[in-house]
Amino acid sequence: MPGDAGEVRVLDGVCFSLAAGEITDIVGPSGSGKTTLLRALARLLPGVSGELLLDGVPADRVLASTWRSQVALLPQKPAIVDGDVRANLLLPWTLKVRHGQTPPDTEHLDDALLGVALADIALDRDAARLSVGQQARVALLRVLLTRPRVLLLDEPDAALDDASSEAVAALTRLFVEGGGAVARVRHRRADGLAGRRMCLQAGHLDAEVKAS
């Protein structure tokens, strides 16, 4: 990546795999490149060199838009657009990549909100008036409704209270129980969900350490 002193190698020789039904936590000091790694996995960093594969298929044989529909990134500060909760949940179906696909109906959306302890939030409620924790759950739910195969979470519970953090963890657990794979950047203490933790430092992913 370009820097003040020329090209800077943020990630150097990073190599790891994610298995279906597995959560991997990525830890490391601030500025070590954890967010950069997730963005690279989601193919959001043009010009980055390296090899990415999904079920053995190289990324260069898959359209970037198709890749991102299967390998979904939820940033640390997920976007909440102007409008109500329904508009935010259905945002992916306004994009070209899902042209012609049928979006979830009202019953499906209501059931989904119930599943994240947001049954008291009406679909026509102004999303801007939700709490930070409620917005985080809506943003994660929006991603999960698109049925990705890999979920990349950038500090999903960093600014959440304990109740919202537990709701996000429950959603993540359900996703992997359904066969999904998850990589999470986390600063919080281990919550028992991850099967392994990997430390990113000085451009390298250290040897796996047992999650605690």
Q: Does domain 2-205 have CATH number 3.40.50.300?
A: yes
Strand pairing of 57-58 and 53-54? Answer: antiparallel
pLDDT in the model for residue 85? 97
Which tens digits make up the pLDDT trace of 47-94? 777 889 999 999 989 998 889 999 999 998 888 999 999 999 999 999
Tokens of 96: 């070209």
Which tens digits make up the pLDDT trace of 117-138? 888 999 999 999 999 889 988 9
**CA distance to 89, 100, 136, 141, 180, per residue, from 112 (Å):** 10, 22, 14, 7, 18
Distance CA 1, CA 157 (A): 28
pTM of the prediction? 0.87
Q: Give all strands (DSSP E) within 8-48, no chain letters.
A: 23-27
